[in-house]
Structure formats: structure tokens, C-alpha cells
Amino acid sequence: MHVVITGASGLIGGALVKELRSRGTSVTAVSRNPRSHMALSGVNWTGWDGLADAVSGAAGVVHLAGEGIVDRRWSNARKAALRDSRIDTTRQVVQAIRSAAEKPAVLVSASAIGYYGNQVERESTEAAPAGDDFLADLCVDWEAESQSSGVRTVNPRIGIILANEGGALPRLLMPFKLGLGGPIGFGRAWWSWIHLDDAVGAILHALEQNYIEGAINLTAPNPVRNSDFSSALGRAVGRPALMPVPPLALKLMLGEGASVLLASQRILPTRTLELGYQFKFTEIDAALQDLVA
């Protein structure tokens, strides 16, 4: 079995490569700077100019490439970069698959729960409509771009990843360990989270099960309010979690991008469960204890 991965040096991509290699699966990773990753043994790195050759005959393609959503303060230029890094690369992946002499069996092309917009209290399953803000529009176009490859296509809408290697958790740990952590504002916003192990597991499930197609939510079955997340993280590190973070501070740091952390999204993986994926971590306390311990 051979799998092609874009964004293989990212948080999910790196964990996915590691799991595939542990299973004896051959992996080709696509990067803008393949030479910088050559030291990673057991992985064939190639540039985007080698994508068409890489996907031909592959069992599957996992497309995870894209600029980090909250890595920098949003500006018009940054928003354009966020969009281009997703839409343009997806178009390249689709074109490579369509022109391949032997098409892969499946394309798993990432999306995000930003698709649903800021819904405050509403529960959203995969059947819910898209929102109407920048991220929702981006996700709609991102998914649409992936749909013309001519092979089975899955769009995992990924929630807040919990991992030690990156994402939100490492940024939160230090203030919590110092006893300075707490909820954002009043802590009423819903956070739809997923342990990194389950993000990788669900993607592998989508790769392997040929009946899975379309959108699936990659969020744990039990989303929590931000105040409950903060309390759980405080318990995990053995420190109080009483210092609220003013929303204004996030807006000053991230501009419009603060909406990602301030949005309330109560997302349920209804279809993911119906399609047979069994989550390892369904409760926030168990997930954070696993990671922090």
C-alpha cells in the first residue's frame, strides 16, 4: 500500500506519516522544500512538481497542506494567503489525480469546522448548512475544489486539535501551569475538540473504508464550553483555572483571526460515528490527562 500526503510536515500530517510507517505503509510526502525533510527515514519526499508522478498508482492521497489559520494576525494579504494556500494546492492535487495514468482510489482532502460559522448554541452535524463568514466561505470553496478529481473524495471537517506537538494546547499550557490560565471571557463559547490520535485514526478510517464519501466531522462526540475546557486543563496540570482571558486581548493579537478562538461551535460527528469510526477519546478530561501526563 502506498499513500501520498501533502502537508506531511504539519501537526496532523506528521502524526499520520508516523502511524502509516508503523504499519509498514509506503509514504510519499509532498513539500515545497523536500530537501529540508530528507532526514526523515522511510519517507519519499518530493516537490509539488513531482505530484503527478507521485499520485499515479497510489492507494490514496491525503491533502492537508495550508497556511496556519492563527499563526499570524489577519490582514487582507494574510487572508488571501490562507485562501490561496488551500484552494490553489487543492486544484493542483485534483489536476494531478485527473491526469494520472493510474488514478488513486481515494482523495481525503481536509476542511475545517469553520465551515459552519459561529453558531453560538446550535448543534451542527454534517447535514447543517454553511455559515456566512470568511472561514465558512473558504471551507465551502475548499471542499468544492476537491470534488472534481474523479475518485472517491472525503472532506474531514477538522475541529480544535489537542496535541503536545502543536495546535492550541502548547500555547495554553504555560499560563495554566503558572496558575494564570482561565476561560476566554465568560467561557460560554462551545469548543469542538479532537485528540490528535483520533484525527489520525478517523483519516485512516476514511482511507481504508471504501463506502465513506463526502463530509465527516472530526470532532469528539462531546464538545465542551470553554469554561469547562479550562477547568479540565486546570485539573490536568493540578492548578486553578480562574484567570479569564479578555476577548479584547485576542483581538489585539490576531485581529479578525481572533474569531477562530472566540467562535462558539457545537459540532457533532454524527456521520463519522454512523460510518463506523470509534473514538478513543470522547471526554475532555481523559484527552487532556493523556496529553499532559
Average pLDDT on 255-268 reads 80
Which of 117-121, 154-158, 263-267 is the most confident on average? Answer: 154-158
> In this predicted model, what pLDDT tens digit does every residue of 203-249 receive, in sequence order?
999 999 999 999 999 999 999 999 999 999 999 999 887 777 777 76
> In this predicted model, what pLDDT tens digit does every residue of 67-105 receive, in sequence order?
888 777 888 998 999 999 999 999 999 999 999 999 999
Terminal CA-CA length for the chain: 34
Q: Tell how far CA 248 is from the center of its chain.
A: 26
Determine the pLDDT at residue 39. 53
Distances (CA, A) of 218 to 118, 140, 195, 206: 17, 16, 10, 11
Q: Residue 101, Cβ neighbours under 10 Å: how many?
A: 9
Instruction: Please check the confidence at residue 37 and state whether its pLDDT lies above 70.
Output: no
- CATH code, domain carrying 229: 3.40.50.720
- pLDDT band (50, 70, 90) for residue 11: very high
Determine the pLDDT at residue 176. 84
Q: 51, 47, 62: which is closest to 1 by C-alpha?
A: 62
Q: How many helices (H) and strands (E) does the chain have?
A: 11, 14
Determine the pLDDT at residue 70. 76
Determine the pLDDT at residue 247. 72
Range of the structural domain that residue 153 is part of: 2-292
pLDDT over 90 for what percent of the chain? 71
**Residues 192 and 226: beta-carbon distance below 8 Å:** no
Alpha helices (H) in the chain, listed in sequence order = 11-22, 51-55, 76-99, 134-146, 168-177, 196-208, 226-237, 247-254, 259-262, 270-274, 284-292
Number of domains in the chain: 1
**Stated pTM of the model:** 0.93
Average pLDDT on 142-152 reads 96
